[in-house]
């Protein structure tokens, strides 16, 4: 017997239960990226959860006799940049293969709009079987690519004439970066919806480092591109348990593309991460973005994981 409860916001006790479930999943699967220490968080109790689990709505699936949380789902009712709702499902490792995943997915599909997308991180065969059972189709692949920094000679790359690189200045560069981002990623389901408020929220995160956030300016002082890097703390169950750098976002204004600026920005970030002593760098790229995948392969990156979105 299972008990389902939908809530729009997690209180302290429920947020702790969800965090513990996510940590257990991370210890088995390496995902999601949830810190051991919630740290000092402001706002609601759920602010201690990874960003993809923030905001309404939350589905708590408990074991009827014991009341223990055995599975959890988050449904982003606001949706991606195209308005499609997005769901994340996690079953506690100790309670898998007992039908909880199917029960939770069925409940999510009953509550969500018909255009909902459901993530399956790691492209697990069990997720594929579950998707087939519910008539879901493979709609999107997000590749995780990685490269070792050892022995990599990421030399300087020539900038277009009149362009210079500098680092991001909090409190001054938010709108300029967002303007470029909106033009560069008007096609992207997540990044296309990124705005000044989201950027300012990211600046309050412990991982944010403006020294690893590179902006490209033209001769007029207009920002025409950026490379935002990120450093992840050690995850004992992923990437050999070492800190890892990330090519978080590289964006170039469409009017400035084709002159090598994207490559120059990418190399600037890679050198920064290597010089920080990070032994591995990862990035996320759409599986159908063949030109970008080819560029990253030339820089030494290879696919290490695949995340899949299924659509109803």
Q: Flag whether 283 is marked binding.
A: no
Q: Flag whether 257 is marked binding.
A: yes
Q: Which phi and psi angles does 64 have, rounded to 5°?
A: -55, -55
User: 68, 97 in Cβ contact below 8 A?
Assistant: no
Beta bridge partners of 247: 229, 283
Q: Flag whether 298 is marked binding.
A: no
Q: Flag whether 175 is marked binding.
A: no
Q: Flag whether 89 is marked binding.
A: yes
User: 43, 100 in Cβ contact below 8 A?
Assistant: no
User: 22, 10 in Cβ contact below 8 A?
Assistant: no
Q: Flag whether 67 is marked binding.
A: no
- d(C-alpha 128, C-alpha 109), whole Å: 16
Q: Flag whether 252 is marked binding.
A: yes
Q: Flag whether 263 is marked binding.
A: yes
Q: Flag whether 36 is marked binding.
A: yes
- d(C-alpha 190, C-alpha 204), whole Å: 20
Q: Flag whether 284 is marked binding.
A: yes
Taking the C-alpha atoms of 248, 253, 256 and 257 in order, what is their torsion angle to the nearest 10 degrees?
60
Q: Flag whether 250 is marked binding.
A: yes
Q: Flag whether 91 is marked binding.
A: yes
Q: Of 199, 205, 191, 209, which is closest to residue 284 (Cα–Cα)?
A: 191
Q: Flag whether 196 is marked binding.
A: no
Q: Flag whether 118 is marked binding.
A: no
Q: Flag whether 51 is marked binding.
A: no
- Asked whether the bond before 32 is cis by omega within 30 degrees of 0, the reply is yes
Annotated binding residues for acetyl-CoA = 89-91, 250-252, 257-263
Annotated binding residues = 36, 89-91, 190, 230, 246, 250-252, 257-263, 284
């Amino acid at each position: 017997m299972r008990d389902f409860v939908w809530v729009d916001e997690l209180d302290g006790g429920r947020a702790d239960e969800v965090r513990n479930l996510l940590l257990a999943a991370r210890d088995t699967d390496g995902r999601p990226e949830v810190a051991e220490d919630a740290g000092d968080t402001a706002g609601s109790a759920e602010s201690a959860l990874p960003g993809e689990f923030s905001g309404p709505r939350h589905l708590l699936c408990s074991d009827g006799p014991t009341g223990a949380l055995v599975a959890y789902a988050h449904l982003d009712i606001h949706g991606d940049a195209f308005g499609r709702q997005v769901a994340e499902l996690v079953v506690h490792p100790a309670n898998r293969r007992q039908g909880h995943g199917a029960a939770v997915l069925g409940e999510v599909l009953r509550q969500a709009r018909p255009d909902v997308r459901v993530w399956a991180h790691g492209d697990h065969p069990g997720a594929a079987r579950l998707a087939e059972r519910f008539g879901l189709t493979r709609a999107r692949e997000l590749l995780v690519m990685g490269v070792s920094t050892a022995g990599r000679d990421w030399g300087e790359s020539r900038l277009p004439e009149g362009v210079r690189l500098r680092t991001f200045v909090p409190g001054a560069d938010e709108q300029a970066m967002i303007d470029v981002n909106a033009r560069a990623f008007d096609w992207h389901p997540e990044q296309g919806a990124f705005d000044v408020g989201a950027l300012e929220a990211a600046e309050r995160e412990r991982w944010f480092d403006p020294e690893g956030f590179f902006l490209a300016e033209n001769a007029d002082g207009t920002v025409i591109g950026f490379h935002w890097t990120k450093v992840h703390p050690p995850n004992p169950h992923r990437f050999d348990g070492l800190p890892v750098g990330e090519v978080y976002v590289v964006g170039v204004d469409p009017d400035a593309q084709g002159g090598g600026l994207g490559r120059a920005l990418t190399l600037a970030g890679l050198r920064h991460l290597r010089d920080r002593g990070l032994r591995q760098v990862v990035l996320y790229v759409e599986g159908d973005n063949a030109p970008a995948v080819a560029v990253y392969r030339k820089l030494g990156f290879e696919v290490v994981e695949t995340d899949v979105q299924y659509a109803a």
